[in-house]
Amino acid sequence: MQAAQFAVFGHPIKHSLSPPIHQAFARQFGIALEYGTVDVAAEGFHDAVRRFFAGGAVGANVTLPHKAAAFALADERSLAATRAGTANVLTRLGDGRLAAHNTDGAGLLRDITERHRLDPRGRSALLLGAGGAARGVAWNLLDAGVATLTIVNRSPESADALAAAIAEPARAGARHWEDLAALGRYDLIVNATSAGVLGGGLQLPCSLAGPRSLCYDLSYGAAAAHFLAWARTADAGYACDGLGMLVETAADAFELWHGKRPATDPVYAQLRGPDA
């Protein structure tokens, strides 16, 4: 019997840890699966996904820069995906149609609250970025009880659009990137930009963070290094990358596809190594 087919789509994608994560989850249940990577540019994404599922594949994870495109091509969409307008999971339904899910926000909050034992309730939150990654977590941060959510993006129109979509002006609003130095200190700073993934860094004022601040980068590994270094320079109380979030979002996808919830802590510890 041929093993079920899965993959992660992105550009670039060679850095992805999704294949070993899903293989580790599968070993917990004795499930045989094949999980690969598909590096495809934006203009080829739609056709690549259609070919993948036409070949009998069961599911796919989706990362930068394809999350909005994944949402658009799906036939059914979860509430979380609909709110965000983006998807990080595609699943082939029994009739061949595709269902889109977004597990980013749920994975972020589980990592923060369950693994790092930090409480976001009542915190002032700063969200850096307004693209697909930011949209995937913005509503969940508000659902988790942050007091305020300030959205800042290099293109102010995108930040304004996200704040308008959230439609909670008393709690969520947008500011200009050039205003960062004047915004004061935040309890929770989430880096949802693609700067680290694309090999760049952010120039951020140290006044944004302090001893009570949790600085969290949705990326992991080398892509998060610049932001985490800034957080330590700014004397932030906590500086975390998104490795735990990645493992949690993968677990959500695995459960959607297999109907079984894997244990995430052993996989996280294995990937983190001696620093876990």
List residues with catalytic annotation: 67
- Spatial separation of the C-alpha atoms in residues 192 and 262, rounded to whole Å: 26
- Match 């599911």 to its residue by tokens: 59
